[in-house]
Amino acid sequence: MSTFEEAGPPLQSRASELADRLAALLDRFDVPGAAFALARGDELVTGAAGVLSCATQYPVTADSWFQIGSITKLFTATLVMQLVDDGLVALDEPVRTYLGAFDVGDEAASAAITVRHLLTHTSGIQGDYFGDFGRGADAVDRYVASLAGIDMLHRPGEFFSYCNPGFAVLGVLLQTMRGADFDSILSERLLHPLGIPGGTLADQAILHRVAIGHVPGPDGAPAVPAPRWAMPYSAGPAGSTPFTDPAGLVSFARLHMSGGLAPDGTRLLSQAAVDEMQRLQVAVPDFGAIEGIGASWIRYRWGDQTVLGHDGGTDGQFSFLRVHPPTGSVAVLLTNGPDGGRLFEAFAAPLFAGLAGAPVPEQVCPPADPPAVDVDRLAGTYLHYGKAVEVRVADGRVAATVTAEADESTGDPGLSETFDLVPHSQSTDAVMLVAAVPLRGTHPAVMFPAPAPGSDEAARYLRVGGRVFARSTA
């Protein structure tokens, strides 16, 4: 596949070609519509293909709004770093310094969790608990207060485990320190200064071209519109509500490549804060192409290059952002179908590789000669909020069954999926197994802690999809 680096012409001159390529790929994947933006330096090209909703067949345009999901976490983190710049918050102070009633149901953890723990997904709070507390002004506060009734996953600082509620806590921190609601803070301190369109409320979305999420159709049928527009409003700071267009995310990325300056030269973030967000804070050596996390940029390995980024997922909408500061390159893909991830790999990833001069990360696959691993110590049931992984070992073969609870409000039927695992690699810290056959185009990797020398102690946890699952003692 050709890349911009090879082809040479200005990006905008390829807009039609790229839109046609995207349209052809939509037919291959279960994605009704998508919009993209690609940038290098001052150049920018945008485009779109498909429909906003299978029900209306209204076409996607380059300025259509899509939900950005967890890419929002980068906006929330930027707003928190503005608090740091203003001397209102310190990253290594306990959250209780600013939110005296903060309670996660464990007194020691409640007192120990810091702002940095929240930004780096190391707090130990269960990562996929979403409480719906309506649209009231206190919705985010009530969601955070409800964490007192949810068991902790691990001790603060012990592991990286992707955590949505932690960003709701940061939302309450912002609201408390700024004396305004999260929607207003986001709009006034980032969206408006950067000229980013969109917002957070359905009242705003209905006035514009806006994508509707789609979920898998019944019995293998094509995707159908999701039964609700957005995830709970109370999780807005974690990504449940914000939406924009692809060019809007390029504007945000450019803020972080310009040392914190808006297009008009206004300083929105200090250079020190920009650096703090991007530097490696927690290494995750066992997580495929991801090398670790900053505060809260995900750091990816593309060959010998570090690429910053984040993905997002809401009810049937999936978003992707990649940034390479040394070349000023940005790729954005916003989609409204369940197969958005494979569309990103087929369309946006190779194009971004050309812009950044860095190879697309290779997919993890089973090795031709699997290493010898003590798999008996891996057997057991491992739990994460709303999900479970049962690992069974028989005659040296390993199988995993992943289950997830159904959610009637989203139309999510839940999950029960069994697949064989084969050893992939091991180090002094970790043992990695991967699915023997691809699932939806990839081989999921499952990591277990390595045993202490000379020990056959059962694994205490596993990590899959960036989430830690703790061994059940029941």
Q: Minimal CA–CA distance to 246: which of 64, 460, 406?
A: 64
Q: Single out the residue of 44, 57, 66 nearest to residue 343, CA to CA.
A: 66
Which single residue is written with the structure tokens 């690699």?
A: 425
Burial of 16 (0-12, 13-18, 19+ CB in 10 A): exposed
**Which uninterrupted H or E stretch holds 389?**
strand 387-394
User: What are the DSSP calls for 212-250, one per residue?
Assistant: --EEPPGGGPPPEE-SSSSS-GGGGGGTSS-EE-HHHHH
Query: Letter for the amino acid at 473?
Result: T
Q: Taking CA 405 as the corner, what is the angle to CA 400 and CA 409, rounded to the nearest 5 degrees?
A: 150
Strands 430-435 and 445-449: antiparallel
Question: Which of 165, 309, 180, 288 lies closest to 237, judged by CA?
Answer: 165
**DSSP state for residue 1 in the 8-state scheme:** -
Residues 372 and 396: their CA atoms lie apart, in Å, by 10
Q: Classify residue 381 as exposed, middle or buried by CB count within 10 Å of its CB (0-12, 13-18, 19+).
A: middle
Per the annotation, the verdict on 258 as an active-site residue is: no
Asked if 334 and 348 touch (Cβ cutoff 8 Å), the reply is no
In whole angstroms, what is the distance from residue 164 CA to residue 151 CA? 15
How many whole angstroms from its chain centre is CA 154?
A: 20
* Tokens found for residue 26: 């939509």
Q: Which H/E stretch holds residue 178? A: helix 165-178
Structure tokens given for 252:
């945000």
Q: What's the rounded Cα separation, in Å, for the pair 32 and 59?
A: 10
Outline where DSSP puts E strands in 226-371.
Answer: 243-244, 282-287, 290-293, 298-302, 305-313, 318-324, 329-335
Catalytic residue among 13, 16, 53, 70: 70
Active site residues: 70
